[in-house]
């Protein structure tokens, strides 16, 4: 059994090993891997990482072998979340973009009985809903990527209509009927919550120093490492959101139906087939690995 994996080391390359490499206790066979903003930021040089890194931060896998005492996972199919005990998967820890991969059990999220390609997005939908659930009105979402869009749809399902601040790529969010702006002069100075979803530090700095807010909700996938302090910052609540909790299936299906038509599924008989799909465009794609 050979391992073939897609590595980023400054360039994208597929590397084949003569056998499967066990770095962690659970060996999985990836079935579907979502490729989106994280991978785009890595391969375009906007997200610093320790190279080389195996890409693929979330998806669906089947457990094929377990070392140690975690036998309850054997033979099961799970969603894989980027949030685990060793850091962000596919960023600080090797991801799952391979024909076989070993991962720490903390990244296994939900067991699945029936699997579809779109289940690769389950961890991101749960994350976006958790961001929304921790917000108070009025809400400003910084960033118009898939995390921001899912957060906006989640807020809408909770009866709240956010405003989006997007310095780039607002077309998709606008197509869902959201109001988007790229100019601070067009928006109110006072907000109940600001939700940071992008990794654009300049964008985040601009809104945090120019706007007033009572709650700051941070996605761990925004890679926010510092926050500019204002004189009245002691009154601000800060919420850092990682893995989401249980999600009502009605809301999940509603959001999945809304975003599913925008995300294509590509089949890769060989990982070399996927190289031409990088960097991902739009909201990204799901890779079906044979």
Provide the residue ranges of all domains of the chain, joining segments of one domain with +: 3-115+248-289, 124-241
pLDDT number for residue 261? 87
pLDDT number for residue 231? 64
131-150 burial string, b = 16+ CB within 10 Å, else e?
bbbbbeebbbbbbbbbbbbb
pLDDT number for residue 245? 87
Asked if 265 and 286 touch (Cβ cutoff 8 Å), the reply is: yes
pLDDT number for residue 247? 85
Q: What are the distances in angstroms from CA 133 to CA 62, 101, 137, 147, 159?
A: 30, 33, 11, 14, 11
Asked if 211 and 204 touch (Cβ cutoff 8 Å), the reply is: no
- Whether the ω angle into residue 138 lies within 30 degrees of 0, i.e. cis, is yes
Distance, in Å, from the CA atom of 154 to the CA atom of 121, rounded to the nearest integer, reads 14
pLDDT number for residue 129? 97
Write phi, then psi, for 263 (nearest 5 degrees): -120, 120
Whether the model clears a pTM of 0.75, i.e. scores above it, the answer is yes
List Cβ neighbours of 136 (8 Å cut-off, separation of 6 or more).
192, 193, 214, 215
Distance, in Å, from the CA atom of 160 to the CA atom of 262, rounded to the nearest integer, reads 23
pLDDT number for residue 50? 84
Question: Is it true that 3-115+248-289 and 124-241 share their CATH fold?
Answer: no
- Whether the ω angle into residue 279 lies within 30 degrees of 0, i.e. cis, is yes
The fold adopted by the segment(s) 124-241 is: Rossmann fold (3.40.50)
pLDDT number for residue 228? 87
Distance, in Å, from the CA atom of 101 to the CA atom of 3, rounded to the nearest integer, reads 8
CATH class of 3-115+248-289: alpha beta
Q: What are the distances in angstroms from CA 131 to CA 12, 92, 210, 215?
A: 32, 22, 22, 12
One digit per residue, the tens of pLDDT, for the chain of length 290 reads 788 999 999 999 999 988 787 788 899 999 999 999 999 999 999 888 888 999 999 999 999 999 877 778 889 999 999 999 999 999 999 999 999 999 999 999 999 999 999 999 999 999 999 999 999 999 999 999 999 999 999 999 999 999 999 988 788 999 999 999 999 998 999 999 999 999 999 999 999 999 999 999 999 999 998 888 776 767 889 999 999 888 888 999 999 999 998 999 999 989 999 999 999 999 999 999 98
> Of 3, 49, 55, 5, which is closest to residue 280 (Cα–Cα)?
55
């Amino acid at each position: 059994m050979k391992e073939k994996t897609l590595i980023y080391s400054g360039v994208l390359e597929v590397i084949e090993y003569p056998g499967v490499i066990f770095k962690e206790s659970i060996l999985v066979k990836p079935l579907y891997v979502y490729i989106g903003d994280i991978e785009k930021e890595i391969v375009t040089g906007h997200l610093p990482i320790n190279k080389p890194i195996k890409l693929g931060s979330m998806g669906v896998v089947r457990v094929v072998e377990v070392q140690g005492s975690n036998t309850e996972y054997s033979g099961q199919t799970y969603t894989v979340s980027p949030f685990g005990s060793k850091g962000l998967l596919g960023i600080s820890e090797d991801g799952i973009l391979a024909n076989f991969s070993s991962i720490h059990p903390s990244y296994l999220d939900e067991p699945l009985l029936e699997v579809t390609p779109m289940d690769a997005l389950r961890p991101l939908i749960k994350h976006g809903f958790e961001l929304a659930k921790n917000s108070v009105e009025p809400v400003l979402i910084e960033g118009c990527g898939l995390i921001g869009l899912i957060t906006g749809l989640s807020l809408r399902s909770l009866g709240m209509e956010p405003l989006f601040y997007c310095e780039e790529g607002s077309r998709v969010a606008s197509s869902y009927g959201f109001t988007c702006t790229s100019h601070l002069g067009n928006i109110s100075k006072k907000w109940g919550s600001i939700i940071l979803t992008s990794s654009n530090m300049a964008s985040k700095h601009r809104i945090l120093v120019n706007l007033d807010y009572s709650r700051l909700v941070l996605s761990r996938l925004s890679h926010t490492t510092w926050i500019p302090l204002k004189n009245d910052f002691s009154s601000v609540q800060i919420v850092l959101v990682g893995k989401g909790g249980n999600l009502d299936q009605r809301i999940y299906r509603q959001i999945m139906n809304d975003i599913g038509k925008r995300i294509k599924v590509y089949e890769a008989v060989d990982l070399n087939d996927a190289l031409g799909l990088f960097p991902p465009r739009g909201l990204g794609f799901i890779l079906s690995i044979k």
